[in-house]
Amino acid sequence: MPLLEIETARLRLRPLQEHDDAFILELLNEPAFIANIGDKDVHDLAGARNYIEKGPQASYRQHGHGLLLVELQEDSSPVGICGLVKRDSLPHPDIGYAFLQRHWGQGYACEAGAACLEHASARLSIDYVVGITSPHNLGSIRVLEKLGLQYDRTLELPGINGPSLYYIPAKTSAEKE
């Protein structure tokens, strides 16, 4: 199934393309991105294009989903990325997102995340999506909880320095009790 654009009241989510390199370069080098997600070693436009090709675009081909560019409906300004990430170290895809710091606090992560989860269920038949975040990333924890996920455990993931908090759909935790 080809990737589709996802639209919300304020946002458009679309597959990342090579011409999104300048935005990706900026996003991946923001101090908050590096502190909360990690240094992706992207330091020029060629590196950003390589990240797009070997990350999101490879995921689109392999899994039929991946991180999408999030842009404003009103003027197509890119504000972040959001989508499903399938990691070899996790049994289920996780919801991933990152936004330029100047766009924090406007509800974009929750709006885009909810749209991605709806798309996963309705179009991709993926009903079980987890979340991971750094223990110190309080903003991301709030987003995961607003998306209906709840803390399950702390784990170590390959390629991520330090522990990660693992979130699962809240209904699943209730069913376990």
Q: Give the pLDDT band of residue 172 (cuts 50, 70, 90).
A: low
| Band (2; pLDDT cuts 50, 70, 90) | low
3-state helix, strand, coil in the chain (%, to 5): 40, 25, 35
Q: Assess contact for 136 and 161: CB atoms under 8 A.
A: no
Q: What is the DSSP string of 75-130?
A: T--EEEEEEEE--TTSSS-EEEEEE-GGGTTSSHHHHHHHHHHHHHHHHH-----B
**pLDDT of res. 175:** 47
159 pLDDT band (50/70/90 cuts)? confident
Is residue 176 pLDDT above 70, yes or no? no
| pLDDT score of 123 | 93
Looking at the predicted structure, is the pLDDT value of residue 146 above 90? yes
pLDDT digits (tens, 9 = 90+) for 61-104: 999 999 999 999 999 999 999 999 999 999 999 999 999 999 99
Which pTM was predicted?
Answer: 0.93
Residue 130 CA to residue 144 CA, distance in Å, equals: 9
Tell whether the model's pLDDT for residue 1 goes beyond 50: no
pLDDT over 90 (residue 29): yes
Q: To the nearest whole percent, how much of the chain has pLDDT over 90? A: 90
Instruction: Give the pLDDT mean for 173-177.
Output: 44
